[in-house]
Structure 1
Amino acid sequence: MTRRVLDVDAVRGFALLGIFAVNVTFMASGFPGNLVTDPRFSSALDDLVRALSSVFIDMKFYVLFSFLFGYSFTLQMAAAGRAGASFTARMLRRIGGLFIIGALHTVLLYGGDVLMTYAVACVGLLLLRKTRDRTAIGVAVGLYMIVLAGLVAGAFLIDRTAYFPSEAQALVNGEAATRALLGGWASNIGEHLAGLPLLILQAVTLQGPTALALFLLGMVAGRRQWLARITGSEPVLRRLQRIGFPIGLLGALVYTTAGGNDNSLGVAASVATAPLLTAAYVATLLRLMHSRRTSLIRSALAPAGRMSLSNYIGQSLIGLIAFSGIGFGLAGSLSPLELFAFVAAAFTGQLVLSALWLRRLRYGPLEWALRWLTIGQRPTLVAPPDGRPLPKGRHMRV
């Protein structure tokens, strides 16, 4: 595997960790989905952990995952070109596969799926793939501005009391949602389906447009191969840190002190500045991965990133088994700090399992199935013996 792919996949593995840390709060309790705090975990330590998560994690890693999706889109284009295949046909099959996986994921495992949104937004990316870089960047900025304008306008024009329950009612709803998590398959599937209207609303007004904007920026980065020749010593990485950390953290503090997702102006501040903080994270990670002392970070994260789809779905399966009544029924029983310990342990397991899997096999299970659908023929799953080179072009993750 080339260093380029190690870098891209390692960053994707890093994004998986952040996404898991956010999603697990919704898997483990019905209160966050109702925009209230579980009264059983209201100590100063609990509040501090939630605040730190809000500042450093919430709404940051969705940005990174979306950007990398757009970057990988250019790798798909290159792979289709090498194979002499129709890229449009390939990508439409891939989009269909992602949507189906996302739909099953939403119904069976976790109601906060992003794959269906990605699949729909990818249709827009497919239509815009031949635009010049300047045009793609302009469209991305325009989409972002529309989202921000909508959030700001909504803060002043929409009467929240007309659309959102009171805090007391939200607490009752959170308790009921937690009980639903503790039920069996019927209860959990019913809860997932009940959340579909809100999921669609978020996809249309926030996640879909921002995803497409970041897809376009990732596509531009992929065209220019920004991650192809990173050494870790580039001045731009230090500039990203100097600019991204102060501005991004300021926006994150505004988001947190304003009440997080319960305040449209706070969400707007986070949406506006999260890309800068995320860029600073990535710059820091790249510098660490290319330092002699900390280069093992890349080797540890890359296998999980290569199997990002399988690991993303796997995280939801872990959450279902751990927290729902289908499994161990831990919903509502772990504090915010304990949840972070759970994420650290589960993600470490994913890192180990991914590395072991890829020693013998070339793709994760869902990556293999999706590639089969994409290229229209069954790909070889078993990796060549050690020391035997892969066929030309097969070293790239496509």
Structure 2
Amino acid sequence: MTSGSIGSRTAPTASDAPAKPISSSERLDAIDVLRGLALFGVLAMNIVTIFRVSFFAPSLLNAEPAGPLDRAVAAVLTVAVQSKAVALFSLLFGVGLAIQFERLAGNPRRMILLVRRLVVLLGIGLVHLYLIWSGDILVHYALAGFVVLPFLGGARWLMAGAALLLLGLDVTMPVLPPIVPLPDAAGMAALAADATRAYGTGGFFDVLAFRIREVTVIFPLEVMALPATVALFLVGAFTWRSGVLRRASANRRSLFVVATFGILLGGGLSLAAAGQELFDWPSLGRAHPPVEQLGAVVLAVGYAAAVIAAVNLSGGRRMLGWAAPLGRMAFSNYLAQSVICGWIFYGYGLSQFGRFGVAATLAIGIFVYVAQVVFSAWWLRRYRFGPVEWLWRSCMYGAPQSMRATVNLAVTRATIAV
């Protein structure tokens, strides 16, 4: 097993030394690769939906008449990416919480550090939410993280039971009476029209004023999504605690079985849920929301298992290793995507809100993503962290972290090439 294998690296044990971030040599390649790939799915959906048109458009992927190419791209995104990328990111966030909890074992300040980590995430998220983009996920993740923290030191059966209970609630919630008030169709149409005016033609302060109003309307949807997010965090934490990720090389066959099952079943459920809209299939009726929710989770698990298993093959590492630097800087890249897309679509930038079709918008997203792949590799040859990752860690540990990379660049390049 080569040094690039996830199975060859384990989390460091606790010591009396001051707590500090994990070193580059201790990182798990498969997790970074998976996070980097998931970031593309998140960008693809964000840019073709909430950046391109209003959050309240009746059908975000088809908010205006579309040609055959736009319809085909929208269909692929709906079945293969929509909700799955965020679900995958949520699983990885849960894994990250569990790794942090384990690394700080024996440290009397462990919970203080983890709470501080989430408080800093919440603060950055609030800045992002109000000043940059109303589709922010960081505030949501911070709040879900606070719920998950008490479970991290508990028994695995408790984590698994809570995750199953919350997933069941998430799957059935769409067919239950709303627990929080939602705008009616006329209200959403009015908000969509106001969004088009504010985002499409307004200056920065016009956009800010509308965003503050918009966030209050979006908040109930965030509340409804919280059980699913907490459940996925718990699934990710449970997966780490189970040891599957640390022994991924030895468990490749099982991972490929999970991948096959997850992709086939999750893909089938997602296709069935999208069938009426895309192919004029018979409606699933009240079963549609649960089928759609379940399909997203199962397909995300299938994607995760497939990537982790692939990265533990030499050919898979060579084919997917380019995504690892992007995953190591996912926080910085996520925020950078919001700044870039806001400049492209909003009135204080290029004012392209509502003007592009799905295919053209996705092409812009691919260009941004490729640029970030190149930039992330360049940056991490020189620095230990992405800029926002550095800020996050420095605030968490209460001291500025060393930023400049100290490893030999020739060794780094040789390692990446393995």
TM-score interval, smaller chain: 0.7 to 0.9
How far apart, CA to CA, are the structure 1 residues paired with 2:204 and 2:274?
35
How far apart, CA to CA, are the structure 2 residues paired with 1:173 and 1:109?
19
Partner residue in 2 for 1:217: 235
How far apart, CA to CA, are the structure 1 residues paired with 2:32 and 2:115?
23
Tell me if 1:345 matches 2:364.
no
Alpha-carbon spacing, 1:272–1:231, altered in 2? closer, same or farther (3 Å):
same
Alpha-carbon deviation of 1:242? 2.9
Partner residue in 1 for 2:21: none
Unaligned runs of 5+ in 1: 391-398
Tell me if 1:55 matches 2:79.
yes
How far apart, CA to CA, are the structure 1 residues paired with 2:68 and 2:55?
18
Alpha-carbon deviation of 1:172? 5.9
2:37 to 3, 9, 14: 14
Letter in 1 for 2:93: F
Question: Can you list the C-alpha shifts for 1:76-100, whole angstroms capped at 9, x where unaligned?
Answer: 1233237x35111001111111111
Alpha-carbon spacing, 1:385–1:131, altered in 2? closer, same or farther (3 Å):
closer
Asked if 2 retains the 8 angstrom alpha-carbon contact of 1:36 and 1:170, the reply is no
Asked if 1 retains the 8 angstrom alpha-carbon contact of 2:343 and 2:349, the reply is yes
How far apart, CA to CA, are the structure 2 residues paired with 1:264 and 1:99?
35
Alpha-carbon spacing, 1:191–1:26, altered in 2? closer, same or farther (3 Å):
farther
Question: Can you list the C-alpha shifts for 1:51-106, whole angstroms capped at 9, x where unaligned?
Answer: 22110110101111111111111221233237x35111001111111111111111
2:209 to 183, 190, 200: 190
Shifted more, 377-386 versus 263-272: the winner is 263-272
Question: Can you list the C-alpha shifts for 1:319-367, whole angstroms capped at 9, x where unaligned?
Answer: 1111112222222222111111111111111111111111111011111
Alpha-carbon deviation of 1:128? 1.6
Tell me if 1:113 matches 2:136.
yes
Question: Can you list the C-alpha shifts for 1:143-202, whole angstroms capped at 9, x where unaligned?
Answer: 111222221224xx89x9x94225xx7556434322211221112212322221233212
Letter in 2 for 1:14: L
Letter in 1 for 2:59: V
Tell me if 1:146 matches 2:165.
no
Letter in 2 for 1:61: A
Letter in 2 for 1:71: V
Tell me if 1:135 matches 2:158.
yes
Alpha-carbon spacing, 1:212–1:274, altered in 2? closer, same or farther (3 Å):
same
Partner residue in 2 for 1:322: 344
Root mean square deviation of aligned Cα: 2.7
Sequence identity, in percent?
Answer: 25
1:164 to 184, 206, 216: 184
> Would you say how many aligned residue pairs link Structure 1 and Structure 2?
380
Partner residue in 2 for 1:231: 249
Partner residue in 2 for 1:308: 330
Tell me if 1:177 matches 2:177.
no
Letter in 1 for 2:71: D
Q: TM-score with structure 2 length normalisation?
A: 0.83
Alpha-carbon deviation of 1:275? 1.9
Asked if 1 retains the 8 angstrom alpha-carbon contact of 2:50 and 2:135, the reply is no
Question: Can you list the C-alpha shifts for 1:229-257, whole angstroms capped at 9, x where unaligned?
Answer: 32387221222233212221222123323
Partner residue in 2 for 1:202: 221
Partner residue in 1 for 2:145: 122
Shifted more, 61-70 versus 324-333: the winner is 324-333
Alpha-carbon deviation of 1:32? 4.9
Partner residue in 2 for 1:70: 94
Alpha-carbon deviation of 1:376? 1.3
Alpha-carbon spacing, 1:140–1:233, altered in 2? closer, same or farther (3 Å):
closer
Asked if 1 retains the 8 angstrom alpha-carbon contact of 2:35 and 2:330, the reply is yes
Unaligned runs of 5+ in 2: 7-27, 279-284, 413-418
How far apart, CA to CA, are the structure 2 residues paired with 1:32 and 1:92?
31
Tell me if 1:103 matches 2:126.
yes
